[in-house]
Structure 1
Amino acid sequence: MAETMDIVERHEWEVTEEYEGERLDKFLPSFHEEWSRARVQDWIRDGFVRVNGQVKKSNYRLKQGDQVVFDEPPIAELEVAAEAIPLDIRYEDQDVIVVNKPRGMVVHPGAGNETGTLVNALLAHCKGELSGIGGVARPGIVHRIDKDTSGLLMVAKTDLAHQSLVEQLKEHSVERVYVAVVHGVIPHEHGTVDAPLGRDPNHRQRMTVIHKNSKQAVTHFTVLERLKNASLVECRLETGRTHQIRVHMKYIGYPLIGDPVYGPKKNNHPITGQALHAKVIGFTHPRTGERIRVEAELPADMENLILTLKMK
């Protein structure tokens, strides 16, 4: 079946010692947070996953040196529906749209999130006029922010815009400024975290600072205000890795308040999800060459959190 069906992307791995004895259906989700185990089991059953050229069962135990190939199929022949979901649009023209995403909204459809995403809303607003480079499930999407991070996201309406924005991201010429509230009082005014990020080998749906199988990651931060056992900080991304700010701030001892993955297990603060907001996005317009800079104020839940921490 996998040989006759279109695929989105081919993924290949050589099994290392750390994965010796791992079940096949647990191995794949380690490399992508949106691949649920149930979905992976369906892919294995339907023949999209091969080990040493052969189809195996989900409970196959991997051996060091095994060659695993996964031909990722389109999401259930996905036909993403346009949904009339309100959007907070901060900039729009014929090429680009910048949206202020609320906390709790997923950016694009995936396993377990086929509706209610930003893409569903964009399809309705733009009447389908979005770049197709990202595929059927991700039209217009050139970068993402986490579900529980609020703030600005730039979206491409045309393939020209998509290619230009992706190139600017690669060149680190896109200005991305975030505001976060972290545990602890940071004593110095400024700092830079230059620490490579990769999958955590012990909790592989998380990221961690690690030198093996990692990518360079650089975050610059400034303390905006010191609060009660907390700090309000501005973070500027030099690179844009998965969970970068969340992992880097934890790494230096100041995890984000409300972060369910990298923060303390118990959250006693009035916010659901990490206190992180993408406040500024700046880029060169793909068509005109003009520098565009968009800013979005902090959402009400973060303002409330800051006020609460000031009153303590």
Structure 2
Amino acid sequence: MKKVEHLVSSEENGERIDKLIASLDEQWSRSQVQQWIKAGFVEVNAEQVKANYKCQTDDEIAISIPEPELLNVEPEEMDLDIYYEDQDVIVVNKPKGMVVHPAPGHPSGTLVNGLMAHCKDLSGINGVLRPGIVHRIDKDTSGLLMVAKNDLAHERLVDQLVKKTVVRKYVALVHGIIPHDHGTVDAPIGRNPADRQSMAVTEKGKHAVTHFSVKERFEQFTLAECELETGRTHQIRVHMKYIGYPLAGDPKYGPKQTISADGQVLHAGVLGFQHPRTGEYLEFNAPLPQYFVALLNKLRQND
């Protein structure tokens, strides 16, 4: 059983214990934390508490995390849009609405389930539930992902991400008219202290840089290309909101009055990296999905 300890800060004073603990690790769901509390795996100042306990500054939280159940990712036959594949790496174009790997609430129907049916040789560095996954894109973001088929490829691809040599360009539709043609957002991203289920620009966050350029302007929207220098959770969505141009359709970071698009209008269109074995530079381009094209055509007609 793994033990995690946390000292409640003044910023966390008054927060429910279940909500606070769930915010400590993005892999922990609130319902899962509530089960731990009910089972007696959580103590505050060496005493058990209920899920609605309001934390106090300097409370000492001790979490005894039970060993996870052994899970098997079931292979599922899918019509994957594969752009490239060899013995080391797969480049796949993920559709909007598909989760990358199994997690609480999404045990099946994920990209990993499809990859497991497509090929058995995926790297094991990220464990049973995330075989081969080097980087992720959100459920409602479409576009290109590189997947490692062995541990050597995984390590070398991750090294390129760390060294910021991987080219990742996204096409985004944002609210508002961006007046300048090019720009860079250099602002640290971390957990939102006011909403632990979301990210925000915060002083205590991790270094994050997004470059953007305007591709087309509409009456109330701007089409932009965003290039990642770093790869923080929800980076483009958070950065564009931070500068006043939130993504269209974004239920978490966008305005309530937005277009109907079943999530943020964001597409990972360009992916470039050095092949993990040969060192050859590979770059792939995935066209905008049909819903994105139709939406742009509608905006052009309205203008």
Within the candidate set 257, 260, 264, 1:266 is matched to 257
Q: Per the alignment, in what secondary structure is the counterpart of residue 282 of structure 2?
A: strand
Q: Deviations over 1:45-70 (max 9, x none)?
A: 44554545665443443232233344
Tell me which amino acid in the other structure corresponds to 1:122. L
Q: Deviations over 1:55-95 (max 9, x none)?
A: 54434432322333446556542221111122111111111
Taking the aligned partners of 1:67 and 1:138, their CA distance within structure 2 comes to 32
Identity of aligned residues (%): 59
Please, what TM-score do these two structures have when normalized by structure 2?
A: 0.93
Structure 2 unaligned regions, length at least 5: none
Residues 75 and 110, structure 1, Cα contact 8 Å, conserved in 2: no
* Counterpart in the other structure of 1:131: 123
Q: Report how far residue 12 of structure 1 moved.
A: 4.2
* Counterpart in the other structure of 1:200: 192
Root mean square deviation of aligned Cα: 1.9
* Counterpart in the other structure of 2:297: 307
* Counterpart in the other structure of 1:78: 71
Within the candidate set 78, 81, 85, 1:88 is matched to 81
Tell me which amino acid in the other structure corresponds to 1:163. E
Q: Deviations over 1:131-184 (max 9, x none)?
A: 111011111111111111100111111000111111111111111000001111
* Counterpart in the other structure of 1:255: 246
* Counterpart in the other structure of 1:161: 153
Residues 20 and 196, structure 2, Cα contact 8 Å, conserved in 1: no
* Counterpart in the other structure of 1:38: 31
Q: Per the alignment, in what secondary structure is the counterpart of residue 215 of structure 2?
A: strand
Q: Deviations over 1:253-294 (max 9, x none)?
A: 111110111111133x34211010001111111111111111
Tell me: CA distance 1:69–1:154, structure 2 relative to 1, closer, same or farther (3 Å).
Answer: farther
Tell me which amino acid in the other structure corresponds to 1:148. D
* Counterpart in the other structure of 2:134: 142
Tell me: CA distance 1:73–1:121, structure 2 relative to 1, closer, same or farther (3 Å).
Answer: farther
Structure 1 unaligned regions, length at least 5: none
Q: Report how far residue 206 of structure 1 moved.
A: 1.2
Please, what TM-score do these two structures have when normalized by structure 1?
A: 0.91
Matched, 1:111 2:104: yes
Q: Deviations over 1:12-54 (max 9, x none)?
A: 4321012223232111222344532211122334455454566
Taking the aligned partners of 1:43 and 1:280, their CA distance within structure 2 comes to 42
Taking the aligned partners of 2:72 and 2:48, their CA distance within structure 1 comes to 28
Tell me: CA distance 1:273–1:284, structure 2 relative to 1, closer, same or farther (3 Å).
Answer: same
Residues 131 and 157, structure 1, Cα contact 8 Å, conserved in 2: yes
> How many residues are treated as equivalent by the alignment?
302
Residues 173 and 266, structure 2, Cα contact 8 Å, conserved in 1: yes
* Counterpart in the other structure of 1:289: 279
Taking the aligned partners of 1:149 and 1:43, their CA distance within structure 2 comes to 32
Tell me which amino acid in the other structure corresponds to 2:190. G
Residues 108 and 137, structure 1, Cα contact 8 Å, conserved in 2: yes
Tell me which amino acid in the other structure corresponds to 2:153. A
Q: Report how far residue 99 of structure 1 moved.
A: 0.9
Taking the aligned partners of 2:283 and 2:66, their CA distance within structure 1 comes to 37
Residues 178 and 236, structure 1, Cα contact 8 Å, conserved in 2: yes
Q: Per the alignment, in what secondary structure is the counterpart of residue 61 of structure 2?
A: strand
Residues 177 and 222, structure 2, Cα contact 8 Å, conserved in 1: yes
Q: Report how far residue 204 of structure 1 moved.
A: 1.5
